[in-house]
Amino acid sequence: MPTTGPDDEARTLPAGTTPDALRTPCLLLDEARVRANVDRMRGHLTRLGVAFRPHLKTAKSLDVARIAMTTPAGPAMVSTLREAEYFAGGGVRDMIYGVGIAPTKLARVSAIRAAGVDLAIILDSLEQADAVAAHARGGGDALPVLIEVDADGHRSGVAPTDTATLLAIGRRLTAGGATVRGVLLHAGDSYALTDPAALAAAAEAERAAAVTAADALRAAGLPCPVVSVGSTPTARYARDLAGITEVRAGVFMFGDLYQAGVGSVAVEDIALSVLATVIGHQRARGRIITDAGWMAMSRDRGTAKQAVDQGYGVVCDLSGRPYRDLIVADANQEHGIVALRPGSGAALPELPVGSRVRILPNHACATGAQHDCYHVLDGGGRVGAVWPRIRGW
């Protein structure tokens, strides 16, 4: 029997296939919602007078990138060098690799740059700066570097008031022949917020920290053309971005239940869902069993920390409308255990074996990563296209 790739079925789908004809579990993507989410964010940032650098780590798809990017050449942000190589192959020319650089990755970065891509890197330590300077000096690649600045104690970055470290990093980079491109911040602690005023304050704190660090570099005669901030919550709630040149955001393109819990997207705007088939029941326990377990949904249980725990996802009908109080309450590898929320007065819907449901994910990046492609829904609810997505590092 010939070996077939995971998305061979998808590539040969007849035009106009409806979701009930697809193999499950699989990803559905509502293209109109992606476009609307992107348009909304772009309009907001245009009104605030800043450039938009979409983060492509959620979608990992050239088709989605082309919707999100301002031009086919970028700008864009990536979270792996595999993404950088893939998007470079698709014509993207302006990218930031947005994870702190490891010295062993510098040769690969320079190889991508040698192909004509303006790929910048980020770092937040003197050790990294020394490694980048040595690489630039040895290989003649004037690597552009954004110094990561800590917006809120989330995970990484130089404190915005630690001028001595900022300047030392900047000077060591410059002395080695690397290029100081600017500063970059990511207010990751904003994911824990839900109050609009607190979210707006987080956006303002991110902005102020960025401007403080940029001013310090410039005052010492170092260049800082790029002042880059962003996360979906702070991008969404930013009211004033004076001093900022660009905003990055990614997960908003698809939206997910976690971001809905924060308040940065609406449930009705979530563009990504997992199509699943009902495979059984435990009627006495009020459970419906589907073929979308954690392998299809991911293990992400981010909403467990929020006011409304969505289990492994919210269950919707084929049109994408959530059933009242119906969630994937538990999951095994290939079994989703669907039940009503605890305390719900709703009736369990009649979903015989073979019925199809759509499940909204907790975390679009994690759920997407479990799959090889998107089945793209057109306006009529049919699969109008199949878009591949990549994985790996």
Ligand X SMILES: Cc1ncc(COP(=O)(O)O)c(C=O)c1O
Shortest distance, position 261 Cβ to ligand X, whole Å: 13
Nearer to ligand X, 214 or 326 (CB): 214
Number of residues that bind ligand X (CB under 6 A): 11
Rounded to whole angstroms, the Cα distance separating 267 from 258 reads 10
Q: At CB < 8 A and 24+ separation, what contacts does 387-390 make? A: 387/29, 387/61, 387/62, 387/63, 387/64, 388/7, 388/61, 389/59, 389/60, 389/61, 390/60, 390/61, 390/82, 390/83, 390/86
Which residues, in sequence order, are CB contacts of 153 under 8 Å at separation 6+?
A: 189
- Residue 203 as a binder of ligand X (CB under 6 A): the answer is no
- Residue 252 as a binder of ligand X (CB under 6 A): the answer is yes
**In the block, residue with structure tokens 């170092």:** 222
Shortest distance, position 259 Cβ to ligand X, whole Å: 7
Shortest distance, position 202 Cβ to ligand X, whole Å: 12
Nearer to ligand X, 6 or 153 (CB): 153
Both structure tokens of 137: 């000096």
| Closest by CA position to 246, among listed 116, 58, 66, 77 | 77
| C-beta separation of 287 from 348 below 8 A | no
Rounded to whole angstroms, the Cα distance separating 335 from 277 reads 10
Shortest distance, position 268 Cβ to ligand X, whole Å: 19
Nearer to ligand X, 86 or 323 (CB): 86
| C-beta separation of 191 from 231 below 8 A | yes
- Residue 231 as a binder of ligand X (CB under 6 A): the answer is yes
Looking at 10-18, 159-167, 248-256, 272-280, which segment touches ligand X (CB under 6 A)? Answer: 248-256
- Residue 249 as a binder of ligand X (CB under 6 A): the answer is yes
Looking at 210-218, 224-232, 285-293, 323-331, which segment touches ligand X (CB under 6 A)? Answer: 224-232
Phi and psi at 185, nearest 5°, equal: -130, 150
Shortest distance, position 295 Cβ to ligand X, whole Å: 23
Shortest distance, position 364 Cβ to ligand X, whole Å: 9
| C-beta separation of 274 from 328 below 8 A | no
Residue closest to ligand X when measured from CB atoms: 232
Looking at 211-219, 243-251, 287-295, 349-357, which segment touches ligand X (CB under 6 A)? Answer: 243-251
Site string for ligand X, 11-50 (x = CB under 6 A): ----------------------------------------
- Residue 186 as a binder of ligand X (CB under 6 A): the answer is yes
Both structure tokens of 124: 């937040």
Per-residue DSSP letters for 299-351?
A: S--GGGGSSS--BT-EEE-TTSPEEEEEEEEEE-SS-EEEEEPTT--PPPP--
Shortest distance, position 366 Cβ to ligand X, whole Å: 11
Shortest distance, position 47 Cβ to ligand X, whole Å: 19
- Pairing of β 94-97 and β 314-316: unpaired
- Residue 230 as a binder of ligand X (CB under 6 A): the answer is yes
Shortest distance, position 206 Cβ to ligand X, whole Å: 11
How many CB atoms lie under 10 A from the CB of residue 198? Answer: 14
Shortest distance, position 188 Cβ to ligand X, whole Å: 7
Rounded to whole angstroms, the Cα distance separating 75 from 50 reads 13
Please, which of residues 80-139 interact with ligand X by CB under 6 A? 98
With CB under 6 A as the contact rule, the residue among 80, 128, 174, 232 that binds ligand X is: 232
Both structure tokens of 310: 């969505």
With CB under 6 A as the contact rule, the residue among 25, 160, 176, 250 that binds ligand X is: 250
| Closest by CA position to 30, among listed 129, 38, 118 | 38
- Residue 363 as a binder of ligand X (CB under 6 A): the answer is no
With CB under 6 A as the contact rule, the residue among 248, 301, 335, 375 that binds ligand X is: 248
- Residue 251 as a binder of ligand X (CB under 6 A): the answer is yes
**Contact residues for ligand X (CB under 6 A)?**
55, 98, 186, 230-232, 248-252
